Structure formats: structure tokens, C-alpha cells
């Protein structure tokens, strides 16, 4: 039986996710409904993607009995409110990154999922890519020895994008793209809590971070260095250096199709999309959809690829980095 998806939000990422689902067998994945704040927009989205039901309210999506899981693809300032709506209605949820605005909100979502005994996952799609699986395998086999330093870079000029620069929309480099660097570091160090977090950055007039550098120190004198910016383009790759060699997660590091190990490259091509995409390599969203289906079929309430504890630690580090740099959202004082 196919996993029946409900799409919450009719924006760009929901479009790309829907296109990615079409690259998977219809007997395994089907979109049965989409909801937006505006019925006309939901109907247009449904027509584009061949979705049978369109709703003009999110409550209607929560009440639909013919849905197995909700894909939450709205702005992250809305994740807590809508996440609680669906979780309290007993719905499984795949919530786009970042999970929420701070650790307090993340913990509220996790508490609601456990109270309702439903599946919940932060959609850090990177964790589900074949390249990341291969990195995990290589590290498990000690292919590059003990990892001593991880460097991750992500820069994308997007000062012209309102959601990237406006505080009311949860803007800033950290929550939008910097979290990809941090999650890779935490994956490499197997979810270990860093012993120290040091962050410095530059703020826009709106009060969100334009650029930031975060240095993490782990046990046994192992370091991670992350740099990210919404003002300039960076190399957008990650280098994992160990005592026996190195692994390079080639650009774009958050959705890679190329892996370089000690100078030798391996390609992991993606399927072609049936419709134009808004973001790079978005057919790779299929991998997190496959992970969700795998978890649901096994009756799991969270994914081992991106566990709820992983999301909590990632958010905790981002909260500390924001505090040091001076980025404060309204949600932090509520």
C-alpha cells in the first residue's frame, strides 16, 4: 500500500518535494491532499501536481482521514503552531528544517509527538542522501583514521530574498543554510555534544545574521570549523580530515551527488525532474520520503538518520551561536 502524503503549504519547497515524490513508484508514494491558507492557491497547486484534494485551511488537512503523514513545508516561524495542530490531531509529521525557532519550540513539538504516539522527523534531507550514507560507512570502517578536523562552508547570495533577511520571517544565515554545516559536523562526530561553541558574525540592520563562523571543540581535541553567509558565495563543500586521509563532500554539501575520498571521486546521480525545480538537486528530497516510508512501515516514531535527539542538539547549538552573535527572535522571549 502506498504511503499517503498530505502537503501543508503551496510554496516553493512544497512544489519541489511534490516533484521529488513523482520520481518514486506510485505504488509506494501518493499525494492525496494539499492545503494552503488560500483555497485558490491550493487548487492551483493541486492541478499542477495532480493532487485529488485541495483545502483552504490547515485544519481540514488535519481532519482528513486518508492521510498517513503530513509534509510541513511552510515558513519555520509557523512550524510550532502548525506542527502542534497536526501532532495533536494524531498525525505523523515530516517538518521542514529548521525544526522550529529555538529549543523550547522544538521540545514542544517532540512532547506533542510522544503524547500522541506519532512519527515526527525534522526534514534535514542531507542525512538521507546516498553520499551521507557512504560517509557514515567510511567513517565506521576507519577509512580516514581518527577524524581531527571538519570544515564546512555554505555561502549563497540571497540578500534580495525577504525570508532570508527579515526577522519576522525567521531570516538569517544560520537557520537557513548554516544549520546544514552544523548537522554534518554532528553526524561526523556521531551526535556527540561539543565541549565548547564559539561563534562570531555580522548582523544586518534587520537584526539577523548575514554571515557567521562557528567553531566547535569536541573531546580528544577534535575541531569543527563552519562558515556560512547569505551575502557571498562560498565553496559550499565540506572536508573531513583524519589521521589517514580525507573525505570531501563536494558542492553543494547539503545535497551532494559527488564524494571525494583521498582524491578519488564517486558520483551518485539524481533522477531528472518532471517539472522545473526551485532549488538545487531537489529531486533528492525523494530520499527523505523513502526514509519516512521505511519508518512508518516498521512502526517507528522517529528516524535513526535524523533522530529527535539529533534535532535537539542541533537546535541547542544554534541557540548558543545566536546568543553569542546577538540574534534574538520574538519567539525567544515567549
Question: pTM (2 decimals)?
Answer: 0.97
Note whether 91 and 191 are same-domain residues: no
**Residue at 273 is within a domain:** no
Does the residue 284 lie in any domain? no
Same domain? 185 vs 313? yes
188 in Cβ contact with 181 (< 8 Å): no
- Same domain flag for 98 and 140: no
Q: Please indicate, yes or no, if residue 83 is contained in any of the structural domains.
A: yes
**281 in a domain, yes or no?**
no
Do 109 and 142 lie in a common domain?
no
Q: What is the CATH number of the domain that holds 76?
A: 3.40.50.720
pLDDT of residue 251: 87
Which pLDDT score, from 0 to 100, does residue 334 have?
A: 72
User: Is residue 282 situated within a structural domain?
Assistant: no
Considering the domain architecture, whether residues 171 and 229 belong to the same structural domain is answered as yes
Domain closes at, from 125, 149, 168? 125
Coil, strand, or helix at residue 231? Answer: coil
**Beta-bridge partner residues of 72:** 8, 95
Same domain, 82 and 219: no
235 preceded by cis ω (within 30°)?
no
| Count of structural domains within the chain | 2
Same domain, 188 and 323: yes
Cβ-contact 287, 128 below 8 angstroms: yes
Residues 251 and 316 in one domain: yes
Question: What cell does 312 get?
Answer: 535537539
Indicate if 194 and 117 belong to the same structural domain: no
- Answer with the one of 84, 110, 125 that is the final residue of a domain: 125
Local confidence pLDDT in tens for the 334 residues of the chain? 999 999 999 999 999 999 999 999 999 999 999 999 999 999 999 999 999 999 999 999 999 999 999 999 999 999 999 999 999 999 999 999 999 999 999 999 999 999 999 999 999 999 999 999 999 999 999 999 999 999 999 999 999 999 999 999 999 999 999 999 999 999 999 999 999 999 999 999 999 999 999 999 999 999 999 999 999 999 999 999 999 999 999 989 999 999 999 999 999 999 999 999 999 999 999 999 999 999 999 999 999 999 999 999 999 999 999 999 999 999 998 7
Cis, peptide link before residue 9, omega less than 30° from 0: no
**Which of 125, 147, 175 delimits the end of a domain?**
125
Q: What is the pLDDT of residues 178-193, one digit of tens each?
A: 999 999 999 999 999 9
The answer to whether position 247 is within a domain reads yes
Taking only the tens place, the pLDDT of each residue in 204-249 is 999 999 999 999 999 999 999 999 999 999 999 999 999 999 999 9
Cell of 242: 583524519
Find the length of the chain. 334
Q: Give the domain extent around 87.
A: 3-125
Between CA 239 and CA 185 the distance in angstroms is 10
Q: Are 80 and 100 in contact (CB under 8 A)?
A: yes
Same domain, 20 and 65: yes
Asked if residue 276 belongs to a domain, the reply is: no
Whether residue 11 is contained in a domain is answered as yes
The CATH number for 191's domain is 3.30.360.10
Taking phi over 0 as left and psi of -120 to 50 as alpha, with beta for the rest, 145 belongs to left
- Residues 131 and 60 placed together within one structural domain of the fold: no
163 with 231, same domain: the answer is yes
Q: Cα-flanking dihedrals φ and ψ of residue 24, to 5°?
A: -105, 155
Amino acid at each position: 500500500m502506498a504511503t499517503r502524503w498530505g502537503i501543508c503549504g503551496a510554496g516553493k519547497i512544497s512544489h519541489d518535494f511534490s516533484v521529488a515524490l513523482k520520481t518514486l513508484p506510485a505504488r509506494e508514494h501518493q499525494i492525496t491532499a494539499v492545503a494552503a491558507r488560500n483555497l485558490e492557491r491550493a487548487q492551483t497547486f493541486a492541478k499542477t501536481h495532480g493532487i485529488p484534494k485541495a483545502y483552504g485551511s490547515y485544519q481540514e488537512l488535519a481532519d482528513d482521514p486518508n492521510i498517513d503523514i503530513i509534509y510541513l513545508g511552510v515558513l519555520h516561524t509557523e512550524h510550532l503552531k502548525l506542527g502542534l495542530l497536526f501532532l495533536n490531531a494524531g498525525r505523523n509529521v515530516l517538518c521542514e528544517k529548521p525544526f522550529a525557532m529555538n529549543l523550547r519550540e522544538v521540545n514542544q513539538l517532540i512532547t506533542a509527538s510522544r503524547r500522541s504516539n506519532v512519527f515526527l522527523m525534522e526534514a534535514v534531507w542531507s542525512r538521507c542522501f546516498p553520499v551521507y550514507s557512504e560517509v557514515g560507512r567510511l567513517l565506521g570502517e576507519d577509512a580516514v583514521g581518527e577524524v581531527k578536523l571538519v570544515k564546512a562552508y555554505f555561502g549563497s547570495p540571497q540578500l534580495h530574498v525577504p525570508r532570508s533577511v527579515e526577522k519576522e520571517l525567521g531570516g538569517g544565515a544560520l537557520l537557513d543554510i548554516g544549520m546544514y554545516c552544523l548537522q554534518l559536523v554532528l553526524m561526523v562526530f556521531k551526535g556527540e555534544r561539543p565541549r565548547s561553541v564559539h561563534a562570531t558574525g555580522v548582523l544586518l540592520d534587520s537584526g539577523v545574521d548575514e554571515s557567521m563562523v562557528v567553531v566547535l571543540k569536541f573531546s580528544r581535541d577534535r575541531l569543527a570549523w563552519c562558515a556560512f553567509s547569505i551575502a557571498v558565495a562560498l565553496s559550499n563543500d565540506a572536508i573531513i580530515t583524519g589521521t589517514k586521509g580525507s573525505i570531501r563532500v563536494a558542492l553543494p554539501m547539503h545535497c551532494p551527488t559527488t564524494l571525494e575520498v583521498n582524491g578519488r571521486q564517486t558520483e551518485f546521480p539524481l533522477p531528472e525532474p518532471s517539472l522545473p525545480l526551485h532549488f538545487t538537486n531537489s529531486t533528492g528530497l525523494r530520499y527523505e520520503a523513502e526514509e519516512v516510508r521505511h519508518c512508518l512501515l516498521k512502526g517507528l516514531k522517529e528516524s535513526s538518520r535524523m533522530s529527535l535527539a539529533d534535532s535537539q542538539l542541533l537546535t541547542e547549538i544554534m541557540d548558543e551561536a545566536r546568543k553569542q552573535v546577538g540574534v534574538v527572535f520574538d519567539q525567544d522571549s515567549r
